[in-house]
Amino acid sequence: MLCRKLLASVRSVRSELIYQNVRTGAHFTYIPQTPNPSLGETSKLNMFQSINNAMDIAMEKDPSTVLFGEDVAFGGVFRCSLGLQDKYGSDRVFNTPLTEQGIIGFGIGVAAAGTTAIAEIQFADYIYPGFDQLVNEAAKYRYRSGNEFNCGGLTVRAPWGAVGHGALYHSQSPEAFFAHVPGLKVVIPRGPTQAKGLLLSCIRDQNPCIFFEPKILYRMAAEEVPVNDYTLPLSTAEVVREGTDVTMIGWGTVVHVLLEVAQMAHEQMGVNCEVIDLQTIMPYDSATIEKSVKKTGKCMVVHEAPLTQGFGAEIAARLQEECFLHLEAPIQRVTGWDTPFAYIYEPFYLPDKWRCYETVKKLVEYM
């Protein structure tokens, strides 16, 4: 008993230190979204609050919903589950042992039994011990039974991407690993409004979903978020800025980098860039990006993950197949490097606005 109390104390202290150490190391300017009047009354929320709000709504409307993971009972290291155990009790919001394989395996089991399961992995970097459970069990559960049983009520949440000081074990973007697996949906929001609507869609979707949350946006991204229960469609990309000259495709944090680059390109070169937020990595909305590239003839794909075998390679290959006769320049990728994520060299690792801007110039000047 003493050992268990000591372990719990150490974990709580560790989580509190991580929380206190979260600070903005932003390499971009966050641009709030204009609220959609059709979604009704709004309230100003940052991204971790909007995620909390989405889980609150899900738990209130579906009594079978449970939330579990390391330290979620007191709110988690980023406070996304703050207050939910007080509201719904320890039977529905509870801590787990420090074992990602166990968290996901348990989630598969309770989802297969008919429960709506929200599993939190404390950092996306630590999802790898549960990789086998996700790709060999959760993804195949429905297929192997001929749809007689499934674990479609499982959503796995995880903080994702660069945060300004995370170094090699707290900054990774592993979406491409899971995009290769039929049966999983992989979703990444760019801000509070998308986080709430897309998370509610994942929780209610009848397929296992992985929901990666850009942790640098938890506190720096704030906007007027609809108060009501609403969902946003999965597998639908959003054109967040229309343009005619270059298509720029990204997801999560880099969408804000691209919006800044689009403004720079317009002001300094008179180039009109179209910015697309993919939102769902798999299955992704190929129709929207193909339509855009056929219009502009030039395209770049941007992500924080390394270049080789990153998801940008899949997009480039698809566009080359479907839009070849419309392309006026080779498709460009601006990404992280093929190295472990750097600490002191993080500013050089990330696809910042200057690298992206130079790539726009390269595309525009291509002969």
**Which residues are designated catalytic?**
100, 170
Q: Collapsing DSSP states into helix, strand and coil, what is residue 272?
A: coil
Strand partners, 187: 211, 280
Beta strands 280-282 and 185-187, pairing class: antiparallel
How large is the C-alpha radius of gyration of the chain?
20
Residue 67 burial (CB count, 10 A): 26
What is the C-alpha separation between 220 and 302, in angstroms, rounded?
A: 21
Q: Is 69 left (phi over 0), alpha (psi -120 to 50) or beta?
A: left
CB 246 within 8 A of CB 265: yes
By the 8 A CB rule, do 12 and 333 touch?
no
- The helix, strand and coil proportions of the chain, stated in percent and rounded to the nearest 5, come to 45, 20, 40
Owner of token pair 């800025």: 241
Cβ neighbours around 324 below 10 Å, total: 8
Strands (E), the chain: 42-46, 66-69, 93-95, 117-120, 154-160, 185-187, 209-214, 222-226, 238-241, 246-250, 273-277, 280-282, 299-306, 332-336
Sign of CA dihedral 290, 291, 297, 302: negative
* Cis amide prior to 37 (ω within 30 degrees): no
For 131, 251, 320, the CA distances from 94, given in Å and listed in that order, are 22, 31, 47
DSSP state of 182: T
* CA-closest candidate to residue 302, choices 258, 344, 339: 258
